[in-house]
Amino acid sequence: MADVEHRPTNFIRQIIDADLVSGKHSAVQTRFPPEPNGFLHIGHAKSICLNFGIAEDYQGQCNLRFDDTNPEKENIDFVNSIAQDVNWLGFKWSGDIRYSSDYFDALHDFAVELISKSLAYVCFLNAEQMREYRGNLTQPGKNSPTRDTAVEENLALFAKMRAGCFKEGECSLRLKIDMASSFMCMRDPVIYRVKFAHHHQTGDKWCIYPMYDFTHCISDALEGITHSLCTLEFQDNRRLYDWILTNISIACHPQQIEFSRLNLEFAVMSKRKLQTLVEQQTVSGWDDPRMPTIAGLRRRGYTAAAIREFAKRIGVTKQDNVIEMSALEACIREDLDSAAPRAMAVLDPLKVTITNHPATIEWLDAPNHPKDETMGSRKLPFGPVVYIDRADFREEANKKYKRLVLNSDVRLRNAYVIHADEVIKDEAGNILELKCSYLPETLGENPADGRKVRGVIHWVEATHAMPAEFRVYDRLFSVANPAAEADFLTVINPQSLVIKQGYAEPSLQGAIAQQAYQFEREGYYCADRDSAAAKLVFNRTVALRDTWGKTEE
CB atoms within 10 A of CB 531: 20
Nearest to residue 69, comparing CAs of 248, 190, 232, 247? 190
Nearest to residue 240, comparing CAs of 261, 212, 260? 212
Nearest to residue 286, comparing CAs of 303, 299, 302? 299
- Give the C-alpha separation, 301 to 472, whole Å: 12
Under the phi-then-psi rule, with left for phi > 0, alpha for psi from -120 to 50, and beta for the rest, what region is 304?
alpha
- Give the C-alpha separation, 254 to 211, whole Å: 19
- Of 7, 147, 239, 261, the active-site residue reads 261
Edge-to-edge strand list for the sheet holding 190-194: 120-123, 172-175, 190-194, 208-210
Task: Decide: helix, strand or coil at residue 409.
Answer: strand
Sign of CA dihedral 343, 347, 348, 349: positive
Element (DSSP H or E) covering residue 438: strand 431-439
User: DSSP assignment, residue 452?
Assistant: P
- Of 35, 309, 505, 522, the active-site residue reads 35
- Give the C-alpha separation, 228 to 255, whole Å: 6
CB neighbour class for 398 (10 Å; exposed up to 12, middle 13-18, buried from 19)? exposed
> Cβ(468)–Cβ(345) under 8 Å?
yes
Cβ contacts of residue 371 below 8 Å, gap of 6+? Answer: 338
Distance between first and last Cα of the chain: 54
Q: Compute and round to an integer the Cα radius of gyration of the chain.
A: 31
- Of 162, 187, 271, 475, the active-site residue reads 271
User: DSSP assignment, residue 234?
Assistant: G
- Give the C-alpha separation, 525 to 537, whole Å: 10
Nearest to residue 474, comparing CAs of 549, 395, 381, 362? 549
Helix then strand then coil, in percent of the chain rounded to 5, is: 30, 25, 45
* Ordered DSSP codes for 63-83: EEEE----TTT--HHHHHHHH
- 261 catalytic? Reply is yes
- 271 catalytic? Reply is yes
- What number of H helices and E strands is found in the chain? 12, 29
- Give the C-alpha separation, 411 to 247, whole Å: 77
Q: What's the CA angle centered on 207, arms 167 and 118, to 5 degrees?
A: 85
Q: Go through the chain and tell me how many residues it has.
A: 553
Cβ contacts of residue 47 below 8 Å, gap of 6+? Answer: 32, 229, 231
Q: Are strands 29-32 and 61-66 parallel, antiparallel or unpaired?
A: parallel
> Cβ(297)–Cβ(32) under 8 Å?
no
- 35 catalytic? Reply is yes
Catalytic machinery residues: 35, 261, 271
